[in-house]
Amino acid sequence: MGQIGTIIPLILMFVLFYFLLIRPQQKRQKSVSQMQSSLKKGDKIVTIGGLHGFVDSIDDSKVVIKCGDGSRLTYDRSAIREVTEPSKEVTKEVNLEK
């Protein structure tokens, strides 16, 4: 009976860590990878370094970003943090489906 009493708190701590730390991180990682795989030309994006721009072209692992003054910079696809505004083509398709 004493051995079970010492194992139960360890099991409860692992379960608590799983639901509070591990599971939310996995969900966040899954949503980021889904967003990065669904990038399209014309999307307004922000990189992990804080650069704002538009997707000019996309390769399997690289993205060319068009910045404010017309310059184009090449980044890895994994450097994209978020899409702030989807491309106009995607917005039109969504409006047509409704």
Query: Which residue ranges make up each domain of the chain?
Result: 1-37, 40-98
- Give me 45's structure tokens: 């994006």
The amino acid occupying position 92 is: K
Q: What is the pLDDT of residues 10-48, one digit of tens each?
A: 999 999 999 999 999 999 999 998 999 899 999 999 999
The CATH number of the structural domain formed by 40-98 is 2.30.30.30
Rounded Cα distance between 27 and 16, Å, is 16
Instruction: State pTM to two decimals.
Output: 0.68
User: For position 97, what pLDDT does the model report?
Assistant: 47
Q: What is the pLDDT of residues 39-96, one digit of tens each?
A: 999 999 999 999 999 999 999 899 999 998 889 999 999 999 999 988 876 455 445 4
User: For position 18, what pLDDT does the model report?
Assistant: 94
Task: List, in sequence order, the alpha helices (H) in the chain.
Answer: 2-17, 23-37, 88-97
